[in-house]
């Protein structure tokens, strides 16, 4: 019996939602360990579309325990809205099947306001944030002034925490000429929402430890992608948390020995939302075609995604950074009919060859991709459920990717539907 960590190996939007849903059928527990409601997972189950931002993907499956770990920053208002939307679709969300870590930090309206103001002040140097307050909430967590879920239990404690937090933010607001926040109004809002949030609060680390001792299968669900990691990604065009597999341990309170298999979700081409370097980006008809056929619009923001050729250098780096043991290759069908295909196998920077993505902002912005051409295929792969259903050229493309990224393909997704999946290796069996 193995526990599995699922992470994105590119810049997010790799199709984690479907794969996590597919895996959750075998899992007993699904736990989110980082990010906030800036991440969006789209699931299609029996024709019903579920767009989840905070709720773990396992919530749509009866009999599964879904958990939000302490590494996630939680907007309580967004969470309650999402719960209500899922209940309208017939999904049960109760303290029996859904828990949030009592030590998870909260995102408040003041965090959203600060993030929007900061992004506007950057002008042409915008990072491309979602404006949901994720970054400022993590800043307050590290600054030891965050309000956590457990603070909602006691009015006296909550009042002290609110005063500290609001005092800090008002200093910033005075500096930029923004209206100050009322500590009393903030306190009253939190007191009003506390009874709706607290029933879900639990010592998640303890729950997970007990589940592990019972031999339950745990699925750790990451958000965004490794190249958006605040340490290892294309800084500063990154998210505000660690997105590598190692974050799953700190973000849930469970040790490294708990994870037996790391699965990297990998799109058959490359996309990115927002600003930042993108070596293989296409500005031509093929790039537009990838975006249209792949329906490349952000689940949360609706923003159009930038599209480009598969970057094996970047994915190989992600494999090393997170100890990825196998990948789930998604959206292979989007490449149907495009020939020839290109795969990035290295970078050129002023005549110097790089077989990895350097940390330097300047180099990342100016490197040029070195491509290897590979034959495409004309026949459709959409809906394929076994290798025999795939064109020979598609199989060759998959094998070449495996060689270049130095990791095997464990799962292949050929449409948004859960059943349209080729299983090569069961991550739960190591």
Residue 209 and residue 254 in contact, taking contact as beta carbons nearer than 8 Å = yes
Tokens 């024709």 belong to which residue? Answer: 47
- Catalytic site positions: 13, 41
The H or E element that residue 202 is part of is strand 201-202
Residue 122 phi/psi, 5-degree rounding, is -70, -20
> Omega of the bond prior to 236 within 30 degrees of 0, cis?
yes
State the DSSP code for 234: S
Closest C-alpha to 247, from 238, 256, 257: 256
Start-to-end C-alpha separation, the chain: 8
Instruction: Please compute, for residue 284, the number of CA atoms within 13 A of its CA located in the half-sphere on the CB side.
Output: 5
Helix (H, G, I), strand (E, B) or coil at 109: helix
Give me the phi and psi of 273, to 5 degrees please. Answer: -110, 135
CA dist., res. 240 & res. 231, Å (int) = 9
DSSP for 323-364, written as a single string: T--EEEEE-GGGGTT--SEEEEEEEEETTEEESS--S-HHHH
Distance in angstroms (rounded) separating the CA atoms of residues 355 and 359: 13
Q: Residue 186: which of 158, 154, 151, 156 has the closest Cα?
A: 158
Contact 233, 226 (CB under 8 A): yes
* CB neighbours of residue 175 within 10 Å: 8
């Amino acid at each position: 019996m193995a526990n599995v960590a699922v992470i994105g190996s590119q810049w997010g939007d790799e199709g984690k939602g479907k794969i996590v849903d597919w895996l959750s059928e075998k899992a007993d527990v699904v736990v989110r360990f980082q990010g906030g409601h800036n991440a969006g997972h789209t699931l299609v189950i029996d024709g019903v579309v579920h767009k989840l931002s905070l709720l773990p993907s396992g919530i749509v499956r009866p009999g599964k325990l879904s958990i939000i770990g302490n590494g996630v920053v939680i907007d309580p208002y967004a969470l309650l809205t999402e719960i209500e939307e899922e209940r309208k679709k017939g999904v049960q969300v109760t303290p029996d099947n859904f828990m949030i870590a009592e030590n998870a930090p909260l995102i408040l309206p003041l965090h959203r306001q600060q993030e929007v103001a900061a992004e506007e002040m950057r002008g042409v140097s915008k990072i491309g944030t979602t404006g949901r307050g994720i970054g400022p909430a993590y800043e307050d967590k590290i600054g030891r002034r965050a309000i956590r879920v457990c603070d909602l239990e006691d009015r006296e404690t909550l009042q002290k925490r609110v005063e500290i937090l609001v005092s800090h933010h008002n200093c910033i607001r005075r500096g930029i000429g923004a209206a100050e926040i009322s500590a009393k109004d903030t306190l009253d809002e939190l007191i009003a929402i506390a009874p709706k949030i607290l029933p879900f609060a639990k010592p998640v680390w303890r729950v997970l430890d007990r589940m592990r001792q019972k031999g339950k299968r745990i699925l750790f669900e990451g958000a965004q992608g490794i190249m958006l990691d605040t340490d290892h990604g294309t800084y500063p065009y990154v998210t505000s948390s660690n997105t590598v597999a190692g974050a799953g341990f700190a973000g849930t309170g469970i040790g490294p020995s708990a994870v037996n298999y790391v699965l990297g979700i990998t799109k058959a081409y490359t996309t990115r939302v927002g600003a930042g370097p993108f070596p293989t980006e296409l500005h031509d008809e093929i790039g537009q075609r990838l975006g249209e056929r792949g329906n490349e619009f952000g689940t949360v923001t609706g923003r159009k995604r930038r599209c480009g050729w598969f970057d094996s250098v970047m994915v190989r780096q992600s494999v090393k950074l997170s100890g990825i043991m196998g990948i789930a290759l998604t959206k292979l069908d989007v490449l149907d009919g495009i020939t020839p295909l290109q795969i990035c196998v290295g970078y050129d920077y002023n005549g110097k060859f790089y077989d990895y993505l350097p940390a330097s902002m300047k180099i990342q912005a100016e490197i040029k991709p070195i491509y290897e051409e590979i034959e495409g295929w004309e026949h459709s792969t959409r809906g394929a459920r076994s290798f025999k259903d795939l064109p020979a050229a598609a199989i060759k493309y998959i094998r070449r990717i495996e060689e270049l990224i130095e990791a095997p393909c464990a799962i292949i997704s050929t449409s948004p539907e859960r059943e349209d999946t080729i299983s090569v290796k069961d991550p739960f069996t190591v």
